[in-house]
Structure 1
């Protein structure tokens, strides 16, 4: 919703219609109320494994410290193994929270099937976490920051510690990519410029959180997270996505490897 996108995409006009949670954002694109959105790379893999018509055009890469598992206050849980027999809130099966649980447990040599994952909307995470409805949450970004800022909560692991491949990705509908490849590339260039600016001025990110109503405690935690950078889906980006797709097969999230290459655009070409 800032001038950086409009400058790059002119004479086309740009309108921000959010904020949405990722699921609602995808619905907005599919219904024609938006043309582009962002999600997790794992969610993208899950979508294209179902032959849904999406094209990814930019990876938003970060080191993983903004994803993790946090134990709720009063649970006495101090480690991942303490979660055996307990409940963990996730966004949905096959999405980022589910990936966090499986990758963290696999890296620790633990069995993820020994915990009960509870699917819920991210908008309900905070209430479920603070009221004791779940023993822990596996989440990301502002929801992770909110959990970490909850008195008595304990961060058990973050994604820097377990070989994370799940980051953010920018996507458009297949029809939009086919009809407007020039605009997709312009969106990529705009994101790169803003990403470069954010590396020197990370308050761009925290100011956005404040604008959308985040508390000072959440903003203070978000400010400690790694500042993302925009990368193309070139040969290296494609390789990373294909590696994560193999993890999705290994975890049983999808039955077979999707044709990732046919659902991405290298905007450097």
Structure 2
């Protein structure tokens, strides 16, 4: 692969990447209640217990279900803890900044975005991993596009988020096809701003994950050029926890992990029960076709597990790939930032 630097991306969005952090951080810790929760989370409270601050899950998934039916509260109560929903779930980069700023205790991301964040003086560790979503992530093109192979991307514009899942998928596709990275123009956009740009034809393709591929596919106006399976993706989902919180409350992290694992197992058996948890209508709800696609993707997925040696090897592979592709300026060693959840004190069930 060529060692030349990639063509300088053209920024279609007028909102800089820092705005993504600001939007999420604005929802993190600004109210009096959040301030109180922050103090409780950091120091603990003999009467009220410990507060675990995580992003609000929205309308889908195991945490949405746990929020609605109280099962997450019940699981944490066993270790004298409770949850505080702080901000909104979204890209991991701003969540990592919120963790580093002491405004968030745990968040979900991808190993690709985690590698990028770990190269910037992080204050978090990874404690759980879910196998790559080989069905839901990949590179989208318009349904009527004349692009039918990765080779057809040469000279084209592809939307992606910088330094995470999107950029990883695009670069992995190009490497697999033997195409130098600078032969394709990367258009850096926030994931939540890309759909209208893609729909308007301002970019030729879009590297993304299930949160955004599901509605795009359901619209009938998009198709996968290549999904994660075709690309041999190593893009694990990972859970991160603030170091200070894990050091003081390892039993809470173990209880939270156990909840995620068990609830994820139930979700695989009955995906429909974890979609449209709070409402079947409105902008956060899936219609019939998106729901069908998401159910199919979920059934092909996995639940969160402890981070095993084989996972560590694949994390290292991602880190080396990002260095080779000049996404990171130096090799990021993931190993010092891993937490063995099996070794933590406290009941696992």
CA offsets, 1:147-178, max 9 Å, x none?
22333433100010122101211111222222
> Residue 134 of structure 2: which of 60, 64, 69 is its match?
64
Q: Matched residues in 1 for 2:90 and 2:201: separation?
A: 23
Following TM superposition, by how much is the alpha carbon of 1:191 offset from its aligned partner in structure 2, in angstroms?
Answer: 0.8
Native 8 Å contact 2:138 2:224 kept in 1: yes
Q: Matched residues in 2 for 1:216 and 1:109: separation?
A: 39
1:181 is matched with 250
Following TM superposition, by how much is the alpha carbon of 1:121 offset from its aligned partner in structure 2, in angstroms?
Answer: 1.6
Following TM superposition, by how much is the alpha carbon of 1:106 offset from its aligned partner in structure 2, in angstroms?
Answer: 1.1
Of stretches 65-74 and 202-211 in structure 1, the one that deviates more from structure 2 is 202-211
Detail structure 1 runs of 4+ shifted over 6 Å in the superposition: none
Long gaps (5+) in structure 2: 1-63, 344-349
Q: Matched residues in 1 for 2:83 and 2:74: separation?
A: 9
**Secondary structure of the corresponding residue to residue 89 of structure 2:** coil
Native 8 Å contact 2:126 2:338 kept in 1: yes
Q: Matched residues in 2 for 1:15 and 1:256: separation?
A: 36
Q: TM-score, normalised by structure 1?
A: 0.91
Long gaps (5+) in structure 1: none
Matched, 1:214 2:286: yes
Native 8 Å contact 1:4 1:194 kept in 2: no
2:149 is matched with 79
Q: Matched residues in 1 for 2:205 and 2:133: separation?
A: 22
Following TM superposition, by how much is the alpha carbon of 1:37 offset from its aligned partner in structure 2, in angstroms?
Answer: 0.6
Where do residues 105-184 of structure 1 align in structure 2 (5 Å cutoff)?
105-184=174-253
Q: TM-score, normalised by structure 2?
A: 0.71
Following TM superposition, by how much is the alpha carbon of 1:82 offset from its aligned partner in structure 2, in angstroms?
Answer: 1.4
Q: What is the number of equivalent residue pairs in this alignment?
A: 268
2:296 is matched with 224
**Secondary structure of the corresponding residue to residue 56 of structure 1:** strand
CA offsets, 1:89-128, max 9 Å, x none?
1122x21100000111211222232111111121112111
RMSD over aligned CA atoms reads 2.1
Identify the structure with bigger relative contact order (alpha carbons < 8 Å, sequence gap 6+): 1
Following TM superposition, by how much is the alpha carbon of 1:192 offset from its aligned partner in structure 2, in angstroms?
Answer: 0.9
